[in-house]
Structure 1
């Protein structure tokens, strides 16, 4: 007969334990899915971990007391949206009991049909790989079907409050396959530039793609562009940088007088462009080419960088895809 093993477990104070768990610095995520009726559901969570690269797996923990728990327990898909340091309002919204959390947050579908939030640090669109019952939580293991990331700083969380992460993007973090995407935006002959905070000027960038001819710009706000005048203008590498550069040429669709530009944005006349305050030789050359082509009647071209100086291909009149199919 086997002797009984005494139960020597001590009583754990759940409040003290939660505080101890909270000393581990984490990021902040918004978990999203769709319920049985196809409605988007979401909640804020910081229990997230990568699991495997082959196959690509991650896990999140969903509290059984959460109002959206039944949706995550019953759906075959979900997305994990890692928030940037500018999204504390999004974190607070999805941690609240708001009836329609998605009404004020831009979102889209990518692969599985689960809502993916725009402007977040990174996102992972997943199908459910497994569910594991774990006390008052469910461990949800997802197989990554699509993902995206950005160079934004992450939103941190520690000891029950938000925390800042210093130096979130160390040199060399971006791989050579990553691209810097900028926009050469013209309005009434002038060019839009942005102060880089170091006494120089750069082109505007966007935290996500152009949607409905509206470009969300880093720094806040949107710019309405003329869709027929938005096209790839230059592709090149810059010495000393891992990332390649994609530059789109665009024209502002709204009157400049009615436009509220974010801090640091400024229009420059072609004959007053601050070339000496633009660090990149390649950027200066591209702007000079743009000025020449504008003065030459607006016959623009696409530049493709190469080891022997690059190639330039003229751009013809734009037409819709339907028109192109019929031609």
Structure 2
């Protein structure tokens, strides 16, 4: 039964109001940014919603009393990390006043430089689109620059407690997550390619975004990459039914002698890439763009769209800077 509002408004009890707000089932997020000194800052929040698809916008509400509020208020970028069902401890950590929150969780960067948790349900990397003052909170509206997701179950929250969400995602949704993760590995003006099953050439692949800095190769070996020099380069679908591609630029920690490369791997000079032996048209187009940008020393991030795709020019990214924790 719905309550009827009285003719004369009575004072609102903030404790009762908070409990009423808390009956709305939400997910749990960790929002992250960097302060003026480049140090990662983060806090737990469940006031999150999508706003728009065109342009791609979302919002989070940041309490003005939070210790990280000044960092979010001044930052030009932030990330929203949705937690999965096994991350109640991560939620508790970022809700605490711990001084070294990021030492216990893996984090990386995708586009803006804001910390992105390497283990989470879904992440959104955003530039700040707008800020709105709203009482004891600030509404932070972000424009999504990159995102990623997984089929894990979400961590829910309701009535002040964590809640389980047992329904699995629909099968057609799971199929859309089968991205091929490829790596553009350049050394001394040459690009590393690998033989595919049909005898053509393609990019080295990994089952997911590399977090340990080692690129697996055929035969059970691996190549060491410089983890702080790995950057998102291109996200695109293909016309022949493949699940789509997520491409990163990377650099070998110590380029091996050409003769000692594992079987099936070969470095090709950038001006002599075997385009005719690369079967996927979209990969060939991506490699031609890479060669042009490498010649100019200025790279972009390509994201496929119904309009044919868009490139955001970002220059040659600075290496990841390790900063002391606050």
Q: Fold match, TM over 0.5?
A: yes
- 1:179 Cα deviation (Å)? 1.2
Segments of 5+ residues of structure 2 without an aligned counterpart are 1-6, 182-205, 225-240, 246-261, 273-326
Report the secondary structure of 1:172's partner residue.
helix
Q: 2:10 & 2:59 partners in 1: Cα distance?
A: 29
Alpha-carbon shift at residue 211 of structure 1 (Å)? 3.1
Taking structure 1 as reference, are residues 130 and 244 closer, same or farther at Cα in structure 2, changes over 3 Å only?
A: closer
Partner of 2:25: 25
Q: Residues 207, 47 of structure 1: CA spacing in aligned structure 2 closer, same or farther, 3 A cutoff?
A: farther
For the Cα contact (< 8 Å) 2:215–2:223, is it kept in 1?
Answer: no
Asked whether the 8 Å contact 1:228–1:318 carries over to 2, the reply is no
Match status 1:71 vs 2:18 = no
Pick from 237, 261, 265: which aligns with 1:318?
Answer: 265
Shift of 1:86: 1.3
Per the TM alignment, residue 324 of structure 1 is displaced from its structure 2 partner at its CA by 5.7
Q: Report the alpha carbon displacement of residue 208 of structure 1 after superposing the two structures with TM.
A: 4.4
User: Which residue in 2 is equivalent to 1:150?
Assistant: 150
Matched, 1:226 2:221: yes
Task: Provide the C-alpha distance between the structure 2 equivalents of 1:90 and 1:47, rounded to a whole number of angstroms.
Answer: 17
Give, in whole Å, the separation in 2 of the partners of 1:211 and 1:39.
Answer: 22
| Aligned residue-pair number | 207
Instruction: Report deviation, 1:316.
Output: 4.2
1:124–1:145 CA contact under 8 A, matched in 2: yes
Cα distance in 1 for partners of 2:23, 2:46 equals 12
Q: Which whole-Å CA distance do the structure 1 matches of 2:263 and 2:269 have between them? A: 13
Q: Is the alpha carbon distance of 1:45 and 1:228 closer, same or farther for their aligned partners in structure 2, counting shifts above 3 Å?
A: closer
Residue 174 (structure 1) shift: 3.2
Alpha carbons 2:62, 2:137 under 8 Å: kept: yes
Structure number with larger C-alpha Rg: 1
SS state at 1:110 partner: coil
- Determine the C-alpha separation between the residues in 2 that align with 1:77 and 1:139: 14
Q: CA deviation at 1:325?
A: 6.3
CA contact (8 A) 1:42 1:94 kept: yes
Q: Normalization by structure 2: what TM-score?
A: 0.57
Q: CA RMSD in A?
A: 3.0
CA offsets per residue over residues 133-188 of structure 1, 9 Å max, x none?
11100000000011111111111111111110011312222355x31779xxxxxx
| Structure 2 SS opposite 1:50 | strand
